[in-house]
């Protein structure tokens, strides 16, 4: 007999109190490094800020309350490709069958957490001052090795393989046609959904164009494209050390990050600050509870090593794959605080670009930083493609 079709099972995380106590004990016992006077954030994570954050994490942060808040989002696990995949699945408040199915793909260093604020705005727009006709059925998976999804036991999966899993997941959920959206690594996953499943994906929305790849004659590029490639290379030289570690020796860093919650917070919070539209003050974009919810998810699931290993897998993707043009209708919302924003000429070179917007606020984690703006961007972009689903 053929194997039974995968069946999603409801999922609720419940952290044993002993794990919380272990976390608090480790935080209180942190062995802090020295730092030069007035270093601030110039050499990486600011030690004074981290000391204060760790003290709150140990003695003020209420993880059970945050865990309960996340549990209000309907969540499931299903077996795909030999792995247990965790995902949020929230159907639209609109009449059944009238909503556009949408799979949202996160990046690093986060998980389904990235979209936790925006889900109600997308599934019930009428309750938030928007048109009920713009409702989505929303699916937010944790990529393998992130959050509550299993980590691959062998080689890590690359973005192409994850896109294949998401296509299978949407099939399991009964969605033959759907939209795809994402940022960071999730931008790559959404891109490959459009490339490899064009008959199923009605349109692709992204908040970035990924790390640029071009192996042709630079003379054939527009001046703004050449400038962008130079800017991206300069950013990589100044800010890309974390990525080089992830691509080459992730297990070395993972030992310390898996053992020390303070070290884990330093690795993640420095990126939240650097990549957000916060003017240098990370708590202008996130509350302490929001920051620590993201970091605690990494701590309790023990997924910092497996999440970093995905960089190694993506670095091995053949150049021919990176050079493919997305022909599915594509849209980009380029937020001002994001890392390196591509010019329109590059977007049109690499995708069938039908929509480009530059919102007034937001950064790399726009769905969490500015959920109302991000939701409005998705509603506007996908509106013309609803009839195709």
Active site amino acids? 184, 311, 364
Cβ neighbours of residue 354 under 8 Å, at least 6 residues apart? Answer: 329, 330, 331
Taking CA atoms, 249 is separated from 183, 207, 255, 295, 312, in Å, by 24, 28, 11, 21, 9
Per-residue tokens: 83: 């792995």
Backbone angles phi, psi at 2, to 5 degrees: -65, 155
Angle at which helices 17-28 and 47-59 cross, to 10°: 150
CA distance 258 to 21: 16
Cα dihedral: 134, 137, 138, 139 (round 10) = -150
Cα dihedral across residues 344, 345, 346, 352: positive or negative: positive
Count, residues in the chain: 389
DSSP type of residue 363: B
The secondary structure of residue 139, as a DSSP letter, is E
Q: For residue 209, which of 77, 36, 55, 345 has the smallest C-alpha distance?
A: 345
CB 284 within 8 A of CB 362: no
Token output for 352 = 């069938």
What is the phi/psi pair of residue 91, to 5°? Answer: -80, 155
The secondary structure of 253-271 as a DSSP string is: HHHHHHH-HHHHHHHHHHH
């Amino acid at each position: 007999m053929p194997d039974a079709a995968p069946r999603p099972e409801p999922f609720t995380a419940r952290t044993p109190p002993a794990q919380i106590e272990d976390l608090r004990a480790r935080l209180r016992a942190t062995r802090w490094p020295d730092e030069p006077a007035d270093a601030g954030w110039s050499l990486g994570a600011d030690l004074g800020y981290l000391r204060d954050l760790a003290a709150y994490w140990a003695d003020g942060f209420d993880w059970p309350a945050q865990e309960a808040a996340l549990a209000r989002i309907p969540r499931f696990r299903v077996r795909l490709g030999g792995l247990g995949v965790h995902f949020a699945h929230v159907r639209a408040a609109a009449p059944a069958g009238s909503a556009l199915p949408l799979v949202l793909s996160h990046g690093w260093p986060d998980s389904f957490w990235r979209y936790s604020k925006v889900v109600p705005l997308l599934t019930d727009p009428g309750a938030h001052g928007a048109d009920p006709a713009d409702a989505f059925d929303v699916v937010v998976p944790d990529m393998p090795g992130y959050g509550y999804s299993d980590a691959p036991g062998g080689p890590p999966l690359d973005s192409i393989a994850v896109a294949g899993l998401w296509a299978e997941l949407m099939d399991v959920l009964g969605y033959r046609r759907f939209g795809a959206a994402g940022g960071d690594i999730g931008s790559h996953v959404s891109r490959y959904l459009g490339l490899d499943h064009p008959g199923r994906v009605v349109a692709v929305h992204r908040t970035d164009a990924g790390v640029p790849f071009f192996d042709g004659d630079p003379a054939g590029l527009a001046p703004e494209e050449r400038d962008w490639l130079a800017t991206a290379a300069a950013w990589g030289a100044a800010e890309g050390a974390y990525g080089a570690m992830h691509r080459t020796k992730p297990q070395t860093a993972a030992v310390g990050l898996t053992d020390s919650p303070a070290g884990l917070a330093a690795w993640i919070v420095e990126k939240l600050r650097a990549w957000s539209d916060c003017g240098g003050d990370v708590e202008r974009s996130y509350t302490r509870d929001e920051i620590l919810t993201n970091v605690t998810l990494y701590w309790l699931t023990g997924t910092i090593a497996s999440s970093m290993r995905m960089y190694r897998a993506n670095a091995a993707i053949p150049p021919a794959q990176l050079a493919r043009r997305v022909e599915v209708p594509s849209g980009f919302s380029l937020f001002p605080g994001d890392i390196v924003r591509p010019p329109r000429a590059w977007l049109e070179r690499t995708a069938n670009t039908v929509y480009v917007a530059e919102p007034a606020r937001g950064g790399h984690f726009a769905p969490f930083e500015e959920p109302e703006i991000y939701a409005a961007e998705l509603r506007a972009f996908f509106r013309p493609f609803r009839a195709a689903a």
